[in-house]
Amino acid sequence: MTAPTSPTDPESLRERALDALTTARDRTALLTSCVEEPELTAQHSPLMSPLVWDLAHIGNQEELWLLRAVAGRDAMRPEIDGLYDAFEHPRAERPSLPLLPPAEARQYAAEVRGRALDVLEGTAFRGTPLTEAGFAFGMIAQHEQQHDETMLITHQLRTGPAALTAPDPDPAPPFTGPAEVLVPGGPFTMGTSTEPWALDNERPAHRREVPAFFIDTTPVTNAAYQAFIADGGYDTERWWSPQGWAHIRAHDIEAPLFWRREGGQWLRRRFGVTELVPPDEPVLHVCWYEADAYARWAGRRLPTEAEWEKAARHDPATGRSTRYPWGDTDPTPEHANLGQRHLRPAPAGSYPAGESPLGVRQLIGDVWEWTSSDLQPYPGFAAFPYKEYSEVFFGPEHKILRGGSFAVDKVACRGTFRNWDYPIRRQIFSGFRTARDGQA
C-alpha cells in the first residue's frame, strides 16, 4: 500500500505550483546576483557550465515545456534552443558558445516566467499527461531547483572570497543513540504511481522483497572518515575496487575534495571560507569509490537502493510506504536540512522529528547518499515526457544517490526521488552511510 499524495484539487495545485516556481526563481536570483558579471560568464571548472548558461537554460526549458508544450505558443527565441540544449553541447564547450549575456539572459528568463504564470492561471490541470495534476509545472520547478543546486556546486568550486552567506544549523547535542538499526526482512512498496509530480524514473510503484539488514543510524561523519585516512585507507589497495584504486592513484587523491592537511589538522574550503573540518558533520564531497572503500575498511558495505528506500519509507507497524521517513507531510525545518537554508550539513544525529519509524535519521537532506546500485529502470518503466531525462542514463556507468542534500529544495526531494552520477564525481554534495547483512 502506498502513501496518500498531495492535494490534487485545481486551486491547491495552482497554489502549490506558484509557490514552487516562485521559490525556485528567488533562489536562482540569489545565486546569480551575488557575484559580478565576469563571475557569471566565467567557467569556474570544466565540470560545470558558466552560471549564465544555467540562467538562460532555466528560462529556455520553461519556455519549451510551459509555453510551447502546454500552451501551444510559438517559440520566443527559436535560434537559442541549440545553445541551451544540455545534450548538444558538453559543459566544457559551453563558454565558447555565443551565449546570452547576463542582462539579456535575465530579461529572457523573466519574460518567459511572466507568460508562464499566465498559462498557470488558465490551466485546468486535466486532459493531457503534461497538465494532469500540474505535472509540467512541477517538473519545471524541480528542473530549476536542480540547476540551482548545480549553480551552488559552481559557487563551491569558484575561487576567491565568499559570495554567499547563510546561518549555520542549530547546534545539536552529541548523538548517543544506537550506531545502527535493524530493518526487518520482507516486502515493501518501492517507487510510486500516485505522487503527482514524481518523475518517470520513480515510477511505477512495485513490490520489492528485501532481506533483513542493518543500516547506519546516521551518515558517516568526518571524524569516522578521518579514522579511515589515518589508518592508511588511501594507501591500502585491498579496500578499493580495481577501478577505484586506479582512479585515486591516477589523480593522487588522498582525502575528500576541498580538504587539506596543515599543522597536523584537517582543513576544508567551504564557499570561499577555510575552516577546520568539523568532526561531527556527515562527510561531504566523496566519490562512490571512496564511499565503497570506507565501507570495506569498516567491515561493511554500501546499502542497495532498495535497502535505502525501505529504511526511509517502510513503516513496519502499518505496512505502508510513506512519502518521507517521518510520514506523508511535506518537509519543514524541523524535519530536514533542505533548500540552501544552511550552507553545510547539520551534525550527525540532528532532526529527530525527521527520523524513520525504525529510528534512522537524516535520510532526507544534509548529504546525498551513495548506494551500491546502478541506475536501472523499475519494472514497467515508461519514459515521460522525454527519454533524455532518465532513459539515456540507464546502465552500469551511473551509481544511484538518495536522500538529497542541504542544497536540495523540498520540491526535488522525497522518499522516492532518485539521483545518479558517475562513480568518480566528488564536486557534488555527496556523502554516504553503510549497511551490513542482517538476521532473518
Q: What is the pTM (predicted TM-score) of this model?
A: 0.96
The position carrying cell 532473518 is 440
What is the DSSP pairing of strand 368-375 with strand 430-431? parallel
Convert the pLDDT of each residue in 400-426 to its tens digit.
999 999 999 999 999 999 999 999 999
Convert the pLDDT of each residue in 54-85 to its tens digit.
999 999 999 999 999 999 999 999 999 999 99
Report residue 143 as a C-alpha cell.
Answer: 528542473
259-262, strands of its sheet edge to edge:
259-262, 265-270, 273-276
User: Is residue 226 within 8 Å of residue 213, measured between CB atoms?
Assistant: no
User: Is residue 285 within 8 Å of residue 427, measured between CB atoms?
Assistant: yes
Convert the pLDDT of each residue in 285-313 to its tens digit.
999 999 999 999 999 999 999 999 999 99
Convert the pLDDT of each residue in 224-251 to its tens digit.
999 999 999 999 999 999 999 999 999 9
Of 83, 82, 55, 66, which is closest to residue 150 (Cα–Cα)?
A: 55
- What is the model's pLDDT at position 171? 87
- pLDDT at residue 166 tops 60: yes
